[in-house]
Structure 1
Amino acid sequence: MRIELVLDKSLPEIVGNPKGVKTFKEQVENKVDWNGMNTIVFPSFIEDISVSFVQGFCSEIFKKIKKEDLLKHFEFQCEKKEIVDKILDSIFIVW
């Protein structure tokens, strides 16, 4: 399942645990294939993403699967490789 996130273009930096939870619940939760692969696409205008946003977003995922199984079910994409790197670092290094 390919899920393209719709975010506010006037806010190129996405921050905050509550915003991560809200984004997941409103745009992702009802579309996830828990038995297959899901591709979460972040808009190209995103310039930065905070650890707290990623933690909020992924906290909903980790209610259903273990962190070790994340990459079996989720792939993160953005035209800016550094955004994907920061997402993965936030999950596997910081958290």
Structure 2
Amino acid sequence: MIDVELVFDKLITSLAGNRFGRETYRNQIAGKMTEEGVLAILPEFIEDIASSFYEGIFAELNEQYGTERAHELLYIYTKNEYINKKMTNIRETYGV
């Protein structure tokens, strides 16, 4: 699994928007994707993530491989436990 440190403007502390999630995947992750997958590391200044962003960042992988394989290929890492719990809830609630 390849580590990719995601880069965002420091003024952005909350990640939201399906389109922004898709752009983040295309611009920062897709070109580094391997069969082993990518560990996408969120910057420490990110305080929140919306379901729309989460759905967007996984959209292309979900369409191509299905939900389970998408989550094997892309793992989002953050030290922020609030975001970790929120991502788990989004996945369970929306089946993303």
- In which range does the TM-score fall when normalised by the shorter chain? 0.7 to 0.9
Structure 1 alignment gaps of length 5 or more: none
| Whole-angstrom CA distance in 2 between matches of 1:65 and 1:94 | 17
| One-letter amino acid of the structure 2 residue matched with residue 20 of structure 1 | G
Is it true that 1:92 corresponds to 2:92 in the alignment? Answer: yes
Aligned residue number for residue 76 of structure 1 = 76
| Whole-angstrom CA distance in 2 between matches of 1:76 and 1:55 | 12
CA contact (8 A) 2:15 2:53 kept: yes
Length-normalised TM-score, structure 1: 0.87
**CA positional deviation for 1:93:** 2.0
Q: How much is the aligned-residue C-alpha RMSD, in angstroms?
A: 1.4
**CA positional deviation for 1:7:** 0.8
CA contact (8 A) 2:18 2:54 kept: yes
Identity among equivalent pairs (%): 26
| Whole-angstrom CA distance in 1 between matches of 2:56 and 2:80 | 21
| Whole-angstrom CA distance in 1 between matches of 2:38 and 2:64 | 14
**CA positional deviation for 1:2:** 0.7
SS at match of 1:44: coil
Richer in helix (by share): 2
Aligned residue number for residue 59 of structure 1 = 59
Length-normalised TM-score, structure 2: 0.86
List, as ranges, runs of 4+ consecutive aligned residues in structure 1 with deviation greater than 4 Å: none
